[in-house]
Amino acid sequence: MGRTAAAVVMAALVAIVHGQGQEKTTQPGKADPLHPRVKLTTTLGEIVLELDAAKAPVTVDNFLRYVEEGFYNGTIFHRVIKDFMIQGGGFTPEMDKKEKGLHESVINEWENGLKNTRGTVAMARLGGDPDSATAQFFINVVDNPFLDKPQRDGAAYCVFGKVVSGMDVVDKIRNAKVVKHPKYPSPRPVTPDPPVIIESATILDGLSRAKVRAANKAGAEAFKRQEARQAERQRQAAEQAQRAAEFKQTLDSGHDKDGHKLEKTASGLKYLILKPGDGPSPKPTDTVQVHYTGWLLNGKEFDSSVRRGKPATFPLNRVIKGWTEGVSMMKVGEKRRLFIPPDLAYGQRGRPGIPPNSTLVFDVELLAIK
């Protein structure tokens, strides 16, 4: 084999190792609206991503929107785990979360056949909420097949493109010195020091978000699903705001809109009797069956047996103090709204979905004493 042929083979092998030879790749200068390319210019070099608008139309459209609006310019790779991935697009060099310019989160297109292999780019999201991805993304630095499997919330992580140039830069970021940052809670050092900054993000090949969307006929249904989801989120946000206003009105005036009087116990628990009961009352050590829905004061629902369609059964001495006290005062058949202060709820520790020092609001119906 001659030197030229050997060089070609070696280049091909390097491309495969760096995740650049897995699928069709757009050639420089050839605009392909279904595979637009984005250049990330960082303080450690340039990375070129090729996105797959055919398989992840909504996700690519979302990413290109942030690129065109300049959202990523000046953000950093804030979470770097060298045997996992590098994550960026959501924090400033001062480790302040970038909120201005964020848009509605997008549907999770994880069932598109793309895998979380080395060199692919995927959307970061909140655990427990599959459709919570906004601007943050990550680049896999190793194969991560566990991200392709549904998590506890029923969904995996959506891959929407791959690195086609600059995998050496990705590896520089991967191997950057990391520290624990006081503004970023993590059990291990993950924040590069000094910061790795995305100086600019630009769409290449003369394309634009509008051109990509217009060319993506197959993505029309996905865009419709996203629009329907946005409308539903807006409806939910309006309901949440209305509920928060109702809670405030009750606490400020001492009664709800239907005239139920707000009562208060010596412990600080407040309650409304929404529907009287005529059965017995449980002792604090009894096991009860209830239906309930719980909200934060801002109107956000965090748990509901009603929504699950199955009553909850538990010993009254195994729950938060506000529940033990509040339900012990009820009669079977009764329904109350409980306003439980933090010291009778989860206090300073909070819990998933409930911030520290939260007052909780529950509608509780006592169905039976077991």
Active-site entry in 84, 320, 363, 369: 320
The yes-or-no answer on residue 91 being catalytic is no
The yes-or-no answer on residue 84 being catalytic is no
Domains of the chain in sequence order: 13-21+28-218 (2.40.100.10), 242-369 (3.10.50.40)
**SS3 track for the chain:** CCHHHHHHHHHHHHHHHCCCCCCCCCCCCCCCCCCCEEEEEECCEEEEEEECCCCCHHHHHHHHHHHHCCCCCCEEEEEEECCCEEEECCECCCCCECCCCCCCCECCCCCCCCCCCCCEEEECCCCCCCCCECCCEEEECCCCHHHHCCCCCCCCCCEEEEEEECHHHHHHHHCCCEECCCCCCCCCCCEECCCCEEEEEEECCCCCHHHHHHHCHHHHHHHHHHHHHHHHHHHHHHHHHHHHHHHHHHHHHCECCCCCECEECCCCCEEEEEECCCCCCCCCCCEEEEEEEEEECCCCEEEEHHHHCCCEEEEHHHCCHHHHHHHHCCCCCCEEEEEECHHHCCCCCCECCECCCCCEEEEEEEEEEC
Active-site entry in 66, 247, 339, 362: 362
Active-site entry in 72, 138, 160, 292: 292
The yes-or-no answer on residue 292 being catalytic is yes
The rounded percent of the chain whose pLDDT value lies above 90 is: 84
The yes-or-no answer on residue 63 being catalytic is no
pTM: 0.70
Pick the range with the lowest mean pLDDT from 78-87, 218-227, 243-252, 263-272. 218-227
The yes-or-no answer on residue 302 being catalytic is yes
What is the per-residue pLDDT for 26?
A: 53
The yes-or-no answer on residue 146 being catalytic is no
pLDDT, average across residues 342-357: 92
Active-site entry in 61, 91, 346, 354: 346
